[in-house]
Chain A
Amino acid sequence: MSEILLAIDHVSKTFPRIGRHGAGLGALWRVAMAKPLTEGFNALKDIHFSVRRGESFALVGENGAGKSTLLKIIAGVLQPSQGSVARTGTVGALLELGAGFHPEYSGRENLKLAAALQGLVGPAYEGKLDEIVSFADIGEHIDAPIKTYSSGMVVRLGFALVTALKPDLLITDEVLAVGDESFQNKCITWMERYLAEGGTLLLVSHSLYHVKKLTQRAVWLDHGAMRMIGSANDVAIAYQAFHEAKQAGAKQVTAATDESVLGQYAVTNLQIEHSDADGLTVHGALKSRDGRRPHVALGIIRMDGTPVYGTTSEIDQTQLQDDGTGKFKFALTFSDWRLLPGAYKLRAHALDPEGMRLYDTVERDFTVSGDSREQGLVRLPHVWDAPHRL
């Protein structure tokens, strides 16, 4: 196991509520006497994880989940209300667009203080200045005040400084989104090389693609608390599923399983025995009030409701097994189905014996795990016509 670069030990952060007229003498007294806050906004609740050298981490979560607050605490800018953060090695932080840059000073002057803040001073700084300016690619603007810069130029300057620092741990907060395409690519290329050379990244990103591409592990923050921690792929899948479910929102179909309220035909049982990247095995049962043999419809849908595939026993010209108690059982296996990693639902409907009318709906969630970065729902078989491989 490599050494722990960053240990976050049960960190919580409470922000005081501030009125329009400042905090007041009471607050000053409380802070000076080092008394803890009794009430306020709990931005972070009991965050606990550690990052090892070479093990890159992503923080995902909705706006206001506490990601930036946590990064500020990790960078040593903000004090936690409870808990502590232990850092080893050098830390480079890109917290915010133009963080610490003063608009009135030139790029060069700001760079000097920013470099000093990250520990790059004197001849070492002078030696890297050309490299920084050329990476930022802002030409003669380096001597103009920062207030005349476009937001992209500010980010480029900030990122260029980090590239010169090559810290043990690099913390970035959704800053890449600002640069243009070619600069983003330049940053991603740099980050990949930095990671390949043993660097460690702590990344906040709303781009799950970047999360999966650049990091191995991830934490999902939800209203200040850790909702999930695990491999970047698993967390990205769960987080994406959460969003898709949220978007599907009100359309959610509730599964009726209470037998007393069932209609003519109903799904009384639906169980996924086994599911993985290659397929899924399911069995279940339908009830028929009139004793006639119903059909079942089975479908795979994405969390947001996008249908992937659906079929019925009627289409497939098969029969459900009558168990003699008014229940009709079915079982089937999807195999070699090429579904891409993600969260899905299996949906079953009870159909009348004619396969015409739909009576009941029951859903079961399942996840296809894997670390593929392919896009979409299914892997379509394909062959590259290329003589050489990477």
Chain B
Amino acid sequence: MIRNPLFRALVEREIKNRFLGGALSPVWWLAQPLLSLGVYALVFGLFMRAAVPARYGDSFVAYLAVGLWPWLAFAESVTRSATSLIAQASLITKTALPRAFVPLSTVIVTFALNWLALAVIVVLFKVLGFSMHVGGILFSLPAWIALFLTALGLAWIVSAAQVLVRDIDGMLGPLFMLLSFVCGIQYGLESIPAAWRDIVLANPFTQVIERMHDTYLAGVGFAIVDAYLVAGAALIAWLGYALFKRVAPHVDDYL
């Protein structure tokens, strides 16, 4: 598939879309998450004095960065995918382009850029003297893959569904905001009251973000939970593809 020229052409376009257009486009892939990082650091770190769990060091910004980039990759790729079939309507209703490539290219490019951005940030923080583990770039890969597969499955579902039910992309924003607040990105889960903590910890996204923290901040290696996460995510991706394959051939009727 990676060698498929159509897929490569779509990925090329997706990358060009990110880097061309606005005056700030070439730096936006790094600048936008940095701005979010700044906002969260200000609100949660400075104003609310969110505590960083002791095993993850003492820098709130580092704690925030490690959870934020993977999360943004996930939320952004699904949100962008939701409208991807509609945005490419002229291409898919008039040419025999394999439709599954459209959300796939969006998710791949979004993840690649964010993964790269975090790798740059991690190295930078390390150089600046923060307690970062460069090995995390490798050991976090299963968690990244789990997040990627989940995003891909959801992207296939929402992109196909969006064509028929145009309200879906509007619901994704609040939903992802809620999810981001309950998986330990902006504050340590120790701050959550004990009555709620078990529910939050059961959330697989919490597990993924925790694996990010473990690998980048605490220097933990691969763990058995990685296998469960990737397997579960692969199931979501497969379900998403199954639904997409059923719905996508008929989207022309509604585009």
Contacts and interface: CB of A to CB of B under 8 A. Distances in A.
B96 A117 contact: yes
B166 A21 contact: yes
A102 B6 contact: no
Nearest to B252: A78
A96 interface: yes
A86 interface: no
A331 interface: no
B116 interface: no
A32 to B, nearest CB: 5
B10 to A, nearest CB: 8
Contacts of B246: 31-32, 34
Interface in A1-56: 15-16, 18, 21-25, 27-28, 31-32, 34
Contacts of B91: 100, 102
A15 B164 CA distance: 14
Contacts of A105: 13
A116 B252 contact: no
Interface residues of B, number: 26
B165 A117 contact: no
Contacts of A27: 164, 254
Interface residue SS majority, chain B: helix
B5 A77 contact: no
Contacts of A117: 6, 95-97
B15 interface: no
B165 A116 contact: no
Given A22-B165, A23-B254, A31-B250, A113 B6 contact: yes
Interface residues of A, number: 35
A128 to B, nearest CB: 14
B164 A100 contact: no
A114 B90 CA distance: 12
Contacts of B252: 72, 77-79
A34 B90 CA distance: 25
Given A113-B13, A116-B6, A121-B5, A99 B165 contact: no
Nearest to A21: B166
Interface in B74-114: 90-91, 93-97
B247 A99 contact: no
Contacts of B95: 77, 93, 95, 99-100, 114, 117
Nearest to B88: A102
Contacts of A28: 161, 164-165, 247
Nearest to A40: B253
A76 interface: yes
Given A77-B93, A95-B94, A99-B95, A32 B166 contact: no
A18 B176 CA distance: 30
A22 B13 contact: no
Contacts of A32: 243, 246-247
Contacts of A102: 13, 90-91
A18 B254 contact: yes
B175 to A, nearest CB: 17
B183 to A, nearest CB: 28
A366 to B, nearest CB: 43
B249 interface: yes
B9 interface: yes
Q: Tell me which of B9, B10, B90, B94 has the highest count of chain A C-beta atoms within 10 A of its own C-beta.
A: B94
16 contacts: A16-B253, A22-B254, A24-B165, A25-B164, A28-B161, A28-B165, A32-B243, A34-B246, A72-B93, A77-B93, A77-B252, A99-B95, A100-B90, A102-B91, A113-B9, A117-B96
Given A72-B252, A79-B252, 20 more contacts: A18-B254, A22-B164, A22-B165, A24-B164, A24-B165, A25-B165, A31-B246, A32-B243, A72-B93, A75-B96, A79-B250, A99-B90, A99-B94, A100-B94, A100-B97, A101-B90, A109-B13, A113-B13, A117-B6, A117-B97
Interface of B: 5-6, 9-10, 13, 90-91, 93-97, 161, 163-167, 243, 246-247, 249-250, 252-254
